[in-house]
Amino acid sequence: MMRIVFAIAGVAAMLCFAVSPSQAQSYGNAPWCAVANQGGGDVVWDCEYQTMQQCAPNITGGNRGFCNINPTYVPPQGQWRRH
């Protein structure tokens, strides 16, 4: 019985300490991100918005966060042209 308790405690400890809570999770590759605080230092960057106007309803819908320019955005080649 004690082995089971120690095994469960070990697995729980690995899950708790495997990812630092201060690390941000990010997904998407668009110019704008909805940055939401999940609590406990967890921040999620939802980067799937082409404009700030597309991002704003996600934040005003109850999430604690803000819209921000995606710092890791890489536009597809040929998208930007010089005139």
Looking at the domain assignment, is residue 58 inside a domain?
yes
Looking at the domain assignment, is residue 8 inside a domain?
no
Looking at the domain assignment, is residue 79 inside a domain?
no
How many domains is the chain partitioned into structurally?
Answer: 1
> Does the pLDDT at position 83 exceed 80?
no
> What are the residues whose beta carbons fall under 8 Å from the beta carbon of 37, sequence distance 6 or more?
43, 64, 65
Q: What is the pLDDT of residue 21?
A: 41
SS3 6: helix
pLDDT in tens, 48-82: 999 999 998 888 766 678 999 999 998 888 656 66
Looking at the domain assignment, is residue 11 inside a domain?
no
> Does the pLDDT at position 32 exceed 60?
yes
Range of the domain at 35: 18-69
Looking at the domain assignment, is residue 31 inside a domain?
yes
Looking at the domain assignment, is residue 3 inside a domain?
no
Looking at the domain assignment, is residue 22 inside a domain?
yes
Q: What is the pLDDT of residue 48?
A: 93
Looking at the domain assignment, is residue 27 inside a domain?
yes
